[in-house]
């Protein structure tokens, strides 16, 4: 046994206590501003349906149309893989999972649209459509046919449409309450936000609704849609989107990039308005950094190239959509918009391929980290957290199965959550 080292110090305890006291306000700010990811499921997409078109069978209709598109334009795994360039080993599992997903859960997140996708309607029409949306969504959650997440996109807080947007939100939320209460999967979207004060106004509006209906304070959250240049860069040169998250007072759940409004705002010509334009990359990068650690998720936008018409044209649109979705996933934008039923086969194909092709390596790395067995990559705690998060997202959407993840990692679902959940580096192995 070696000689015991002599340990000496020079600072009195009061020094450490003083430092801690001086940093107490910063500690509180870190807890408030950066609580970390909520650990809940994030949908892989959001589907927008105009308020006047939303019906009880909308979700099933989207799934049926998507399946019909596969039957017509890619009736088997080999043909679908050839269109998208899938590796041979992925062709069968991806195609089978896509079809199963379209039959079981074709839409993960649906927004009944009362903004750009909603045509010129009278106030009476909009009242009726908002009330109907509430009734149908409540019924869907009651009978088990709802998407995991459902809600509305209201009009924005600009003066011309503000009162109408507030009334539509009130009609919708009141209808949900009258039908039995707010569903757990409720999501609201506030579009065309330009100033943080508009976000604060939305927070006040929801606060007043909670008081009027006796709800727990903070029960209702909302997404902020980024569609203007002012939402990214304020007049003083700062990142306005960061202030918007703070202005939501803990109610912000997501930042959604609006591909076409934002591009048009910057003067990008119509032919070049796309989610992979450099202007889009810049906006989403700012959104991503502003949201990091706050618990607010970032969503990519959409493509307006629809997979309709003859097979060759559908295949071209599918390749474009698949490529854009894969590009977004690689950049950690795990959600996007889909504008047509024909988009969802390639949405799920891209998502499933992304998780399945990286599954074995991610599982092996996490298992090596958990078991302290080493390997050819020296992973750190933060990377273990990312690996666990990757596997959990794959499980959430149906790309992976619990049994196969457990088999390769040696971790239960609870064990994965142990690694994915901690906030800043304190990742104690467990859950095996």
Query: What pLDDT is attached to residue 392?
Result: 96
432 pLDDT more than 90 = no
279 falls in which pLDDT band (50, 70, 90)? very high
Q: Which residue has the tokens 């499980």?
A: 395
**pLDDT band, very low/low/confident/very high, at 375 (cuts 50, 70, 90):** low
Q: Stretch 100-129: mean pLDDT, rounded?
A: 95
- One of 3.30.2140.20, 1.10.10.10, 3.40.50.2000, 3.20.20.60 is the CATH number of 45-341, namely 3.20.20.60
Q: According to the 3-state scheme, what is the secondary structure of 23-60? A: HHHHHHHHHHHCCCCCCCCCCCEEEEEECCCCCCCHHH
407: exposed, middle or buried (C-beta count within 10 Å: 0-12, 13-18, 19+)? exposed
CA pair distance 43, 222, nearest whole angstrom: 15
Q: Which of 217, 135, 140 is closest to 176 using CA atoms?
A: 135
pLDDT for residue 382 = 86
- Count CB neighbours of 378 within 10 A: 9
Distances (CA, A) of 258 to 264, 265, 268, 272: 10, 11, 13, 14
pLDDT at residue 402, as a whole number: 95
Query: Alpha-carbon distance 112 to 59, whole Å?
Result: 11
Task: Output the six-digit token pair for 96.
Answer: 């089978």
pLDDT confidence bin for 1, thresholds 50/70/90:
low
pLDDT tens digits along 377-428: 666 888 889 999 999 999 999 999 999 999 999 999 999 998 887 543 333 3
* Mean pLDDT along residues 308-313: 98
For residues 301 and 258, is the Cβ–Cβ distance under 8 A?
yes
pLDDT for 278 beyond 90: yes
Q: Please report which confidence band the pLDDT of residue 430 belongs to, taking 50, 70 and 90 as the band edges.
A: very low
Is 2 a residue whose pLDDT tops 80? no
Interval 179-196: pLDDT, tens? 999 999 999 999 999 999
If one compares 92 and 431, the residue with the highest pLDDT of the two is 92
**Residue range 318-349, pLDDT digits in tens:** 999 999 999 999 999 999 999 999 999 999 99
Q: Give the Cα separation of 146 and 143 in Å (integer).
A: 8
For residues 100 and 119, the model is more confident at 100
Q: Which two tokens stand for residue 70?
A: 């596969």
Range list of β-strands (E), 271-323:
297-299
pLDDT above 60 for 216: yes
- Give the pLDDT confidence of 121-177 residue by residue, as tens digits: 899 999 999 999 999 999 999 999 999 999 999 999 999 999 999 999 999 999 999
CB within 8 Å of 400: residues ≥ 6 apart: 355, 356, 359, 391, 394
pLDDT average, residue stretch 258-263: 95
Q: Which residues pair with 110 in a beta bridge?
A: 47, 150
Distance, in Å, from the CA atom of 428 to the CA atom of 312, rounded to the nearest integer, reads 52
**CA 124/CA 71 separation, integer angstroms:** 41
Q: How far apart are CA 362 and CA 356, in angstroms?
A: 10
Q: What is the mean pLDDT of residues 210-238?
A: 97
pLDDT given for residue 428 in this prediction: 34
Under 8 Å CB-to-CB from 105, ≥6 apart: which residues? Answer: 147, 148, 398
Range 197-226 average pLDDT = 98
Determine the average pLDDT of the residues in 66-85.
98
- Write down the domain spans for the chain: 45-341
What is the pLDDT at residue 379?
66
Residue 107, classed as helix, strand or coil, is coil
Q: What is the pLDDT of residue 333?
A: 98
| CA-to-CA dists, residue 181 to 5, 36, 202, 242, angstroms | 65, 28, 20, 32
* % of the chain surpassing 70 pLDDT: 95
* Predicted local confidence at residue 427, as pLDDT: 34
pLDDT band for position 275 (50/70/90)?
Answer: very high
């Amino acid at each position: 046994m070696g000689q015991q080292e002599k340990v000496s110090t020079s600072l009195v305890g009061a020094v450490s206590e003083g430092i801690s006291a001086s940093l107490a306000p910063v500690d509180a700010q870190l807890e408030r501003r950066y609580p970390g990811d909520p650990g809940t499921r994030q949908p892989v997409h959001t589907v927008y349906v105009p308020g006047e078109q939303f019906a009880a069978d909308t979700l099933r209709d989207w799934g049926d149309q998507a399946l019909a598109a596969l039957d017509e334009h890619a009736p088997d795994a080999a043909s679908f893989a050839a269109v998208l360039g899938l590796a041979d080993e992925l062709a069968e599992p991806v195609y089978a999972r896509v079809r199963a997903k379209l039959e079981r859960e074709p839409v993960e997140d649906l927004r009944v649209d009362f903004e750009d996708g909603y045509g010129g309607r009278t106030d009476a029409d909009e009242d009726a459509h908002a009330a109907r949306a509430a009734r149908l969504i409540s019924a869907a959650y009651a009978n088990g046919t709802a998407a995991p997440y459902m809600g509305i996109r209201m009009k924005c807080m600009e003066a011309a449409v503000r009162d109408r947007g507030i009334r539509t939100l009130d009609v919708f939320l009141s209808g949900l309450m009258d039908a039995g209460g707010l569903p757990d999967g409720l999501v609201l979207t506030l579009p065309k936000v330009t100033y943080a004060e508009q976000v604060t106004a939305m927070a006040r509006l929801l606060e007043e609704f909670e008081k009027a209906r006796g709800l727990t304070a903070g029960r209702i959250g909302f997404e902020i849609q980024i569609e203007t240049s002012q939402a990214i860069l304020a007049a003083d040169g700062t990142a306005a989107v960061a202030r918007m998250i703070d202005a939501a007072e803990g109610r912000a759940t997501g930042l959604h990039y609006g591909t076409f409004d934002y591009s048009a705002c910057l003067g990008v010509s119509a032919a070049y308005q796309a989610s992979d334009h450099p202007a889009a990359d810049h906006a989403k990068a700012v959104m991503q950094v502003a949201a990091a650690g706050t618990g607010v998720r970032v969503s990519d936008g959409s493509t307006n190239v629809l997979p309709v018409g003859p097979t060759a044209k559908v295949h071209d649109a599918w390749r474009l959509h698949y490529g854009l979705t894969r590009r977004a996933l690689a950049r950690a934008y795990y959600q996007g918009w889909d504008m047509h039923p024909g988009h969802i086969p390639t949405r799920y194909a891209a998502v499933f391929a992304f998780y399945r092709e990286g599954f074995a390596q991610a599982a092996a790395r996490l298992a090596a980290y958990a078991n302290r067995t080493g390997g050819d990559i020296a992973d750190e705690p933060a990377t273990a957290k990312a690996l666990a998060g990757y596997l959990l997202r794959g499980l959430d959407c149906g790309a992976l199965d619990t049994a196969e993840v457990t088999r390769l990692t040696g971790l239960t679902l609870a064990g994965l959550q142990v690694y994915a959940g901690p906030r800043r580096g304190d990742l104690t192995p467990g859950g095996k």
